[in-house]
């Protein structure tokens, strides 16, 4: 992307009703507030709410000058267990996304959750198709997303992609993306940290029912939230202070946060600059220490269901 990316990006999964239903007026309000506040990068996917998020975002972006924001969407994932990295599906998906979003140009088109799709199709069909679209000027950059950091790194370097988005792996609970991001950044690859709240894990309300983490991870996060409340602090705020304020040194270009409520956006923007209270951070880190870096690839929970 030619523009300077904002350190906080708006994640579109929430707009698809992944966490709770979101009326269009609320989607309009959060998108407008984000753009007003200087957030200039939005991530979405056909999978979020099975096209609902792209449709809602398209409505919210009507009339906004196209150069006011960078737009990232995805190809390849079309249902809870539906991946298709074929050339035909990739081209069709891009056309459908453009129509829903009401734009011609997609700044970053990403292969969604690469660890679940067919690797041969990914490498022989989806990625060459995206590279050709980039050469034609239909998209700006080629990206991959997912949870499996080793696979993301291997494919990113071998296929010389422009961007990598990993999720739930640079949070107060799991920081495994940190060293991977530094290596990727050294290759000139732009790294996005998605789900810095661990898909709702590090919030006072706790994760949604479908969250794939182990119950011991959920219990530790609930304890961290309780201790924060005792100290008059908010776990989400501390979690975002950590993710946003240490992103640079970790090699992360932008942190992609799901927000459907303007008040959450306002709070999260404050977390960019409010100095971390070391006493609160220490208490949260102590509560999370027993489950540090225990992602669901290490310690599966909830039937191992895949997330956003
Ligand atoms: N494989 C992939 O490509 C992949 C995977 C995961 C995520 N992503 C991207 O990353 C984005 C972020 O991930 P995510 O949305 O799943 O998870 P997240 O950002 O970790 O958490 C989002 C949840 O946290 C809530 N929240 C946000 N700010 C809050 C605050 N200040 N206080 C309390 N709760 C707050 C949101 O609530 P409200 O909605 O009610 O505001 C939402 O329920 C996604 O939207 C998507 O764009 C990509």
Instruction: Point out the catalytic residue in the list 48, 78, 147, 170.
Output: 48
pLDDT at 304 over 90: no
Among residues 190, 91, 182, the alpha carbon closest in space to that of 136 is found at 91
Rounded to whole angstroms, the Cα distance separating 283 from 255 reads: 24
Q: From the CA of 198, how far away is ligand 1's center (Å)?
A: 8
Q: Are 83 and 116 in contact (CB under 8 A)?
A: yes
Q: Determine the pLDDT at residue 242.
A: 98
CA atoms within 13 A on the CB side of 113: 19
Domain residue extents for the chain? 8-207+236-274
pLDDT band with cut points at 50, 70 and 90 for residue 14: very high
Tell how strand 77-79 and strand 82-83 pair up: antiparallel
Distant-in-sequence, close-in-space partners of 25: CB < 8 Å, separation ≥ 6: none
* pLDDT tens for each residue of 156-212: 999 999 999 999 999 999 999 999 999 999 999 999 999 999 999 999 999 999 999
- If one residue of 30, 193, 197, 295 were mutated to test the ligand 1 pocket, choosing by the most ligand atoms within 8 A of its CB, it would be 197
Distant-in-sequence, close-in-space partners of 100: CB < 8 Å, separation ≥ 6: 46, 51, 54, 55, 57, 58
In this prediction the pTM is 0.97
What's the mean per-residue pLDDT of the chain? 96
Q: 194: which 2 tokens?
A: 């998605």
The set of protein residues with a Cβ atom below 6 angstroms from ligand 1 is 11-14, 19, 43, 112-113, 145-146, 165, 167, 194-200, 203, 236, 256-261, 264, 267-268, 308
State percent of the chain over pLDDT 90.
Answer: 96
pLDDT band with cut points at 50, 70 and 90 for residue 3: confident
Domain 8-207+236-274: CATH class, spelled out = alpha beta
Q: Determine the pLDDT at residue 2.
A: 60
């Amino acid at each position: 992307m030619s523009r300077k990316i904002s350190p906080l990006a708006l994640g579109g999964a929430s707009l698809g009703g992944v966490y709770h239903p979101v009326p269009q007026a609320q989607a309009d309000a959060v998108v407008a507030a984000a753009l007003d506040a200087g957030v200039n990068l939005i991530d979405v996917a056909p999978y979020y709410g099975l096209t609902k998020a792209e449709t809602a975002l398209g409505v919210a972006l009507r009339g906004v000058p196209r150069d006011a924001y960078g737009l990232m969407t995805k190809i390849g994932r079309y249902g809870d267990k539906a991946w298709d990295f074929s050339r035909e599906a990739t081209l069709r998906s891009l056309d459908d996304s453009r129509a829903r979003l009401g734009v011609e140009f997609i700044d970053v088109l990403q292969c969604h959750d690469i660890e679940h799709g067919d690797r041969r199709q990914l490498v022989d069909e989806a990625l060459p198709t995206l590279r050709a679209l980039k050469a034609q000027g239909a998209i700006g950059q080629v990206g991959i997303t997912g949870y499996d950091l080793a696979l993301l790194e291997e494919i990113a370097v071998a296929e010389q992609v422009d961007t990598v988005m990993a999720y739930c792996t640079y949070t107060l609970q799991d920081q495994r993306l940190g060293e991977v991001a530094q290596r990727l950044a050294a290759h000139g690859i732009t790294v996005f940290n998605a789900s810095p709240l661990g898909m709702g894990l590090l919030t006072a309300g706790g994760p949604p029912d479908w969250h794939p983490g182990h119950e011991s991870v959920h219990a530790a996060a609930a304890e961290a939230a309780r201790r924060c409340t005792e100290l008059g602090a908010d776990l989400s705020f501390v979690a975002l202070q950590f993710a946003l304020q240490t992103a640079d040194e970790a090699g992360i270009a932008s942190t992609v946060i799901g927000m459907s409520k303007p008040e959450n956006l306002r709070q999260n923007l404050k977390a960019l600059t409010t100095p971390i209270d070391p006493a609160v951070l220490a208490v949260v880190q102590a509560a999370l220490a027993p489950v540090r870096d225990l992602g669901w690839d290490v310690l599966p929970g909830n039937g191992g269901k895949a997330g956003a």
